[in-house]
Amino acid sequence: MSINVKETQIVTSDKKILHLGDYSGNVLLIVNVASYCGFTAQYKDLQKLHELYSDKGLKILAFPCNDFGNQEPDSLEEIKTFCSTKFNVKFDIFDKVHAKGDTTEPFTTLNKMEPEGDVEWNFEKFLIGKDSEVIARFKSGVNPLEENLIAAIEVALES
């Protein structure tokens, strides 16, 4: 199923409303994140991806989420401080969201991607092409530096 996310509204950490289409021309990696998850160390590798590919057009958009195991109970400011001090995160962290069901964008739209349905856990990743089309989805256990994810990013950047 082809999903275009251009009109999908998102809210920045300073409560500014944007559309994913504002990032057209860039490749996006959208991730639902949590500070107290077994996958939290992926922040380090997401930052590495940011360092390797941001100059080539990759934007990592992190959306804190407390839907799974109460693993993101902190305030947005606490989350941003944690990410910057523990992992030196320089990519964008957005307002807290819900990643399940039809509750909060961008996941209300991304969850329509077949065949997987709703996000199942923290650190699921959605790769969006320069044309705002969803290219691929990677489950939580896929490390950001895994060969198949990097290959998909590189192909999308070349498109």
- 102 contact partners, CB below 8 Å, separation of at least 6: 108, 111
| Residue 4 burial (CB count, 10 A) | 15
Q: Which of 5, 28, 31, 37 is catalytic?
A: 37
Is 37 catalytic? The answer is: yes
> How many CA atoms lie within 13 Å of 66's alpha carbon, on the beta-carbon side?
9
The separation between the first and the last C-alpha atoms of the chain, rounded to the nearest angstrom, is 20
Strand partners, 66: none
Q: How many CB atoms lie within 10 A of CB 67?
A: 22
- Residues 44, 87 contacting (CB under 8 angstroms): yes
Report the catalytic residues: 37
